[in-house]
Amino acid sequence: MNREPQDIILAPVVSEKAYAENNLGKYRFRVLQGTSKVEIRKAIEKLFKVHVVRVNTQRVRGKFKRLGRSSGMTSDWKRAIVTLAAGETIDFFEKV
């Protein structure tokens, strides 16, 4: 399947752990379920003009949530941890 990079990379993951790993050249993204590591690598390289060394993925299961008498589950999603080549950064994550 031919997918556009904007369709594969959904959003950056914003957390303390994610920002701590930015110093090591690792960046976390929420990605489309069902995409391969190769597709994620090509999408990151095309969107941010960087060289990707490694891509690790994780399936995050949805959690049980309850609001009053209503209950349900949040959606499952996929996380990609992308390691960049030494000395490269993604300006999107840099603090202002």
User: What does the DSSP assignment read for the chain?
Assistant: ----HHHHEEEE--SHHHHHHHTTTEEEEEE-TT--HHHHHHHHHHHH---EEEEEEEEE---EEEETTEEEEPPPEEEEEEEEPTT---GGG---
pTM: 0.87
Domain 5-86 in this protein, CATH class: alpha beta
Residue 95 confidence (pLDDT) above 70: no
Average pLDDT estimate for 13-31: 92
Domain residue spans of the chain: 5-86
> For 29-72, how does the pLDDT look when each residue is reduced to its tens digit (9 = 90+)?
999 999 999 999 999 999 999 999 999 999 999 999 999 999 99
